[in-house]
Amino acid sequence: MDPEIEISLLGQMSVSVAGTQAVLPSSKKARALLAFLVATGRPHRRERLCELFWDAPDDPKASLRWALSKLRNALKIANNDHIVADRERVFFDPRGVNVDIQNIRSKLQSGHEQLPVSVLEAMVRQLDDGFLAGLDNAGDDAFDAWLVAERTDADTTRDDLLMRLFAHPNTPPLAVRKWHRLLRSIDPISAEKFGLSDLDACPVAARKCSSDPDGQMILRRSSPPCSAADRLAYSRSNALKNQEIGFCNVTAGTKIAHASLGSGPPILKAANWLTHLEFDWASPIWGQCFADLACDRRFVRYDERGCGLSDWQVADISFDAFVEDLEIVANHLGLERFPLLGISQGCAVSIEYAARHPERVSGLILISGYAAGWRIAATPEEEAPREAVLTLTRHGWGTENPAYRHIFSSTFMPDASAEGLEWFDEF
């Protein structure tokens, strides 16, 4: 069955519905919102989308509702609504939709047969137009960083295609020279390493050397067009794209969001207060640790109720409720036996889970936990300033004045670096 909707994210964004060009909203932000939902392929909180594309004085919630309404009208076919939204999240349903860059990558990854030269050349022409041309500065700095990362990925895909064309046995000799010049201009260092520096000296050997022993094309840009900040954004983007996010239901239909990244034996991290399955990757405090854990294991995390991508408006936030979150996630993902990582509040939850299900837990890794809360043994001198911080937090949380949050952050992590405190305050 042919797709009902064709979406092009390469060059100027365009949408075709049932063979007819769709009229997208004139708003640059609305078009960027659609592109972001389509390209990321995962649910996003309404609050996060408001932050990405609209400034506070502009009534972000109303602007988001307007944009979603216009996009629904542009993409709607019969009763099929591809913009799925509830009161907390927005998601793009990809069924019956063909997206150009996703289609290209799918063909390259299939690996069943060598694609014809004409098909590879057509893909290169598509990628020549760049990713989402004209949508720069449609959102905040985080959107721009995401856009840089996506464009870098698109460039890498184009490089892969060029190498395939160069190595293809059916590429005409004149075309071989063209692809050879392009490859050398992109990465002269790799060209030297893989025998591409002198085509006349050994053209056949050069083309044979252009892939690794597994048949995967090897081409890395020696001068990536990214600053250190852009490279960090690229790394975060890869983690976000590669992790698999899902949802499961606990008591009274409360949705708990979980994420998995990497392959191998599972390790499960119990949730703790103030986490976010997406924003955690940007953390200078625990982001690198999480990335390391996913190197040789399937690293599983989840946001407890009231945090991150899980439901916020819940009635029960008791200790037993937090243990239930962990139980449901482990059962939902079919984790039979695994080490359990607990950090801060997650330590107590991990210990309780292990006591209830000793056959499921192969080991406990507990970091910065506590045997008893601070009220148990606090002196009057310790209790007074802590109560004062609680009062400030209760009245100042969520206000425009960052002083309250900064006091809280400093109390929560007194030994953190300036960078860590600044990130945690914003988080």
330-376: pLDDT as tens digits: 999 999 999 999 999 999 999 999 999 999 999 999 998 988 777 88
Which pLDDT belongs to residue 171?
A: 80
- CB atoms near residue 159 (< 10 Å): 21
Which pLDDT belongs to residue 422?
A: 82
Sign, CA torsion 48/51/57/60: negative
Tell me how far CA of residue 357 lies from CA of 106, 201, 320, in angstroms: 41, 67, 14
Regarding predicted confidence, which is higher, 292 or 249? Answer: 249
How far is residue 210's CA from residue 166's CA, in Å, rounded to a whole number? Answer: 8
- Identify which of 331, 337, 328 has the alpha carbon closest to the alpha carbon of residue 359: 337
Q: What percent of the chain has pLDDT over 90?
A: 36
Q: What is the mean pLDDT of the chain?
A: 82
For the chain, the residue count is 427
Strand pairing class (266-269; 298-302): parallel
Range name among 37-41, 54-58, 134-138, 314-318 with the lowest pLDDT average:
54-58
How far is residue 193's CA from residue 214's CA, in Å, rounded to a whole number? Answer: 17
Mean pLDDT for the stretch of residues 126-144: 90
Mean pLDDT for the stretch of residues 301-318: 92
What digits encode the pLDDT tens for the residues 246-291? 999 988 789 999 999 988 999 999 999 889 998 888 787 788 788 8
First-to-last alpha carbon distance for the chain, in angstroms, is 45
Q: Match 């990362």 to its residue by tokens.
A: 149
Element (H, E) at 97: strand 97-99
In this prediction, residue 218 has a pLDDT band, given cuts at 50, 70 and 90, of: very low
Task: Flag whether pLDDT at 155 surpasses 50.
Answer: yes
Which pLDDT belongs to residue 210?
A: 42
- CB atoms near residue 64 (< 10 Å): 22
What backbone torsions phi and psi does residue 302 show, to the nearest 5 degrees? -155, 155
Mean pLDDT for the stretch of residues 118-134: 90
Residues 49 and 146: beta-carbon distance below 8 Å: no
Question: Which stretches of 168-250 are DSSP H helices?
Answer: 173-186, 188-193, 203-208, 228-242
Which pLDDT belongs to residue 286?
A: 82
Which pTM does this prediction carry? 0.57
How far is residue 324's CA from residue 328's CA, in Å, rounded to a whole number? Answer: 6
- Identify which of 43, 15, 17, 3 has the alpha carbon closest to the alpha carbon of residue 247: 43
> Residue 307 gets which letter from DSSP?
S
Mean pLDDT for the stretch of residues 124-149: 89
Q: What angle do CA 179, 182, 186 make, to 5 degrees?
A: 140
Q: Label residue 40 exposed, middle or buried (CB < 10 Å: 0-12, 13-18, 19+).
A: middle
Which pLDDT belongs to residue 219?
A: 43
In angstroms and rounded to an integer, the radius of gyration of the C-alpha atoms of the chain is: 25
Residues 166 and 210: beta-carbon distance below 8 Å: yes
Strand order in the sheet with 20-21: 20-21, 14-17, 5-8, 97-99
